[in-house]
Structure 1
Amino acid sequence: MSDLGDKAAKLLGGELAHESSLGGGSLSSLVRIVLADGREAIVKAGPSPLTEARMLGAIKAAGVPAPEVLALNGEMLVLEVLDNDGGLGAVWAELGGHLKHLHASQGTRYGWTEDYAFGPIPIVNRWNDDWPAFWAEHRLLCHLRYVGTSMVRRLETLCDDLSNRLPTSPAPSLLHGDLWGGNVLVSGGTVSGLIDPACYYGHGEVDIAMLMMFDQPGALFFSRYGKLEPDFEERLAIYRLWPALVHLRLFGSGYRALVERLLTELGV
């Protein structure tokens, strides 16, 4: 048993009986614990437990399922166990409805009350009233020193033109921020919860772009979420650049081709 599980049990006021490591925690330690009194919990040690707890609270406040925070400190989050025994194929319509509710929860500016991180990579969420400027500064240009000279020029060219490619002031919707299929838990043919958020307020299409990188939501999803605005295909490519650049930095050169393909799609 790890020190993490024992500390979490003490946070819950109990004694650790069993602990098992969970897959999927590439950027944080993740274990499932069972206490001597039968209670169970998920324990996650990540970059900022308090920030993530606030993000999960914002998702739940928007009427979207997410795990309850049972306890936390500066080292870890202790979360409710949510069942996850199904695939997205059965819940596309429901997920579209949940995302519509999430994006209907809106702020007044773009950003978040605090910065966050994907492992060692900072996510800067400084407030801005100009959406293209926010996306350029905090999601694309921040990676320039890590990508090589030729890609720097292409990213700078794109960012110089973002005011012509992105809406200046879309509704500042509450975003999950890392919405891929692995962060949607499904059980019994329904969505049991969204996990591992990286929330901020921004254009709702950002979440759609991330979701469509590895999955195909299709008609059932959009029947509940609603149609995207004209010319959304180009914007989705712009929004996919951020996770592609993050993956390049986290996991290496295998993702360079993805970044280059997106830039080529965008004509830069």
Structure 2
Amino acid sequence: MLTKTPVSDHQVAAIVAPLGTVRRVEPLSGGLFASVLRADLDAGRRVVVKVTGADMSRLLRYEHGLLGTEAAVNRLGHDAGLPVPRVLLTDTSRRHVDGDAMVVTFLEGDLWSALELEPLATARARRSLGAFMARLHAIVPGARFGYPAPESGLSADTWPDALTAMIRAALDDAARWGVDLPGDRLLAVAARHRDLLAAVTAPRLVHADLWEGNLLLDRSEGTVCGVLDAERALWGDPLFELVGADQFGAGAVDPDLLAGYRQAGGELGLGDGTPGSGDPDAWTRLQLYRAYFACLLTVEVVPRGYTGDRRDWQATHAHANLERILGELDPRG
């Protein structure tokens, strides 16, 4: 089972010493891999300390180098005026704690996943999220496709090459943890659509984990005012963003999300969000990304040590989605 690196108040104080004196430390919820703590400093300053453990034995391949990715993406997002934490310092020396540390600004707001929103409020928040996506994807393209952390080894000069490497890594992880996946079918489908994937020529920054647990809402406006945990970000097709925002989705895409994306000047080619509307190639690419993500969700329950209903539900639903999507992309089986 995954275990977080324990971090004491004394260790927090040592990590943030270049920024000020710690007055109070409080643990924050969330984060499967990292210990996350809020630190109140002198002069009323509040920061968040995130520490990822040195042990990578139970990480999937794409999860290597998470802290470096998150720091880099937060810097890019902050420079672009997006509501992401500002990186104050990173510490990979491991002098103070057995792991790598990052300190960022504390963002005010209500965690979306903890709220019960009425339909109109949900629609407003979804449009706001779509607008954030469009602004993120408008950041100057990267130099290569795939996951940026050198530790993962999952980047390439073209999108089809990067996606193929990502799929192969997921299948290698499945073999390592004894999870049976239809790998040959998935690789064959990706190869069959290589030209379609190659139409994606600009590596766009994709957060890839924009579910409600990583989003803060403004209490008065009901719009997204903070975006957290960019550790799984990659450079690729903007359509990939929709998978991270609806991780078990396999059909329609939320129309309010698409409306917000368009209102912010972007276009994803999915029409009104109903399968069959919009650009057929865009829908095919989306389904390929959903299939890849279903592989990750199916495999991760083992190294993460999920048990009981949670393990059964996730593994069953993710594998069923994978089979359904492959059936649509490759009716011949």
- If the length of structure 2 is used for normalisation, what is the TM-score? 0.68
Distance 2:253 2:111 in 1: 16
- Quote how far apart the aligned CAs of 1:77 are: 0.9
- Quote how far apart the aligned CAs of 1:80 are: 0.8
Aligned AA for 2:294? A
More displaced 10-residue stretch of structure 1: 175-184 or 224-233: 224-233
Which of 31, 35, 41 is matched with 1:25 structurally? 31
- Quote how far apart the aligned CAs of 1:92 are: 1.9
SS in 1 for 2:71: helix
Aligned match of 2:259: 223
- Count of matched residue positions in the alignment of Structure 1 and Structure 2: 259
The answer (yes or no) to whether the contact 2:82–2:136 under 8 Å persists in 1 is yes
SS in 2 for 1:83: coil
1:158 aligns with 2:189: yes
Distance 1:161 1:17 in 2: 58
Which of 123, 128, 133 is matched with 2:161 structurally? 133
- Quote how far apart the aligned CAs of 1:22 are: 1.2
After superposition, residues 60-71 of structure 1 pair within 5 angstroms as 60-71=78-89
Aligned match of 2:4: none
- Quote how far apart the aligned CAs of 1:63 are: 3.2
Distance 2:154 2:25 in 1: 35
Aligned match of 1:52: 70
Distance 2:35 2:198 in 1: 38
- Quote how far apart the aligned CAs of 1:58 are: 1.2
Aligned match of 1:119: none
SS in 2 for 1:63: coil
Aligned match of 2:97: none
Distance 2:38 2:218 in 1: 18
More displaced 10-residue stretch of structure 1: 106-115 or 190-199: 106-115
SS in 2 for 1:266: helix
Aligned match of 2:293: 243
Aligned AA for 1:127? A
Q: 1:151 to 1:66 in 2, by over 3 A?
A: same
SS in 2 for 1:261: helix
Distance 1:60 1:114 in 2: 19
Q: 1:99 to 1:35 in 2, by over 3 A?
A: same
Q: 1:242 to 1:17 in 2, by over 3 A?
A: farther
SS in 1 for 2:103: strand
Q: 1:95 to 1:261 in 2, by over 3 A?
A: closer
Q: 1:112 to 1:152 in 2, by over 3 A?
A: closer
Aligned match of 1:34: 40
Distance 1:140 1:113 in 2: 16
Tell me the alpha carbon deviations over residues 144-175 of structure 1, each in whole angstroms, 9 at most, x when there is no partner.
23254552333333333231653533432111
- Give 5+ residue unaligned stretches, structure 2: 1-7, 53-64, 93-99, 113-120, 270-278, 303-310, 328-332
More displaced 10-residue stretch of structure 1: 174-183 or 225-234: 225-234
The answer (yes or no) to whether the contact 1:141–1:155 under 8 Å persists in 2 is no
Distance 1:261 1:214 in 2: 7
More displaced 10-residue stretch of structure 1: 158-167 or 237-246: 158-167
- Quote how far apart the aligned CAs of 1:73 are: 1.0
Tell me the alpha carbon deviations over residues 23-61 of structure 1, each in whole angstroms, 9 at most, x when there is no partner.
111111111112244321111012554442221111223
Aligned AA for 1:256? A
Q: 1:149 to 1:94 in 2, by over 3 A?
A: closer
Which of 126, 130, 133 is matched with 1:99 structurally? 133
Aligned AA for 1:224? G
- Quote how far apart the aligned CAs of 1:71 are: 2.2
Aligned match of 2:214: 183
- Quote how far apart the aligned CAs of 1:239 are: 1.1
Q: 1:49 to 1:164 in 2, by over 3 A?
A: closer
1:256 aligns with 2:315: yes
